[in-house]
Amino acid sequence: MAQLPILRYPDPRLHTVAKPVQAVDPRIRMLISDMQETMYEAQGIGLAATQVDAHVRLIVIDVSEERNQPLVLINPVLAWASEERVKGDEGCLSVPGIYDGVERAAAVHVTALDGEGQSRTIEAEGLLAVCIQHEMDHLLGKVFVEYLSPLKRNRIKAKMLKQIKEERA
């Protein structure tokens, strides 16, 4: 297992549209395990392959308090979304230190392959539903700050660029 570097907003590679996983082969299994290690180490609740510059439709999630309920979603497809919507603060490992309100469907059903390549449907609500939608956006090249106003987004962009510059200095 290895930790992978996480792309930081506004890195243009975060806007890449991911391609479907063709087969859950050893290379994908290795990516899953590296992404899980990266997510746990960074104390995130979800990570999309896009964020580690691997542009395939693969997501790892763990919203449990104990950090012991890993969930793997390969080629996820949104099967249903509730009309009811909720607005909550979101953060992202690619936009460290920034939290802001985003509106999402309160509940979703998603069909995906798991880490063994088995098809399953996940019925999610609450934090898990929000997390799945956030991560599926990454696979489409969308970062949560794109839901915010252009003013806020530009502020965040400037802050991130300053952070990155300071770290390199």
User: Which of 37, 135, 146, 166 is an active site residue?
Assistant: 135
* 17/119 with CB nearer Ni ion: 17
Active site residue 135: yes
> Structure tokens of 7?
């792309």
Contacts (CB under 5 A) with Ni ion, residues 84-123: 92
Task: Supply the minimum distance, in Å, between the C-beta of residue 55 and Ni ion.
Answer: 15
Longest dimension (CA), the chain: 48
Task: Supply the minimum distance, in Å, between the C-beta of residue 134 and Ni ion.
Answer: 5
Task: Supply the minimum distance, in Å, between the C-beta of residue 143 and Ni ion.
Answer: 7
Q: Is residue 60 within 8 Å of residue 39, measured between CB atoms?
A: yes
Contacts (CB under 5 A) with Ni ion, residues 21-80: none
* 32/92 with CB nearer Ni ion: 92
> Structure tokens of 65?
């308090």
* 117/147 with CB nearer Ni ion: 147
Which residues bind to Ni ion, rule: CB under 5 A? Answer: 92
Active-site residue list: 135
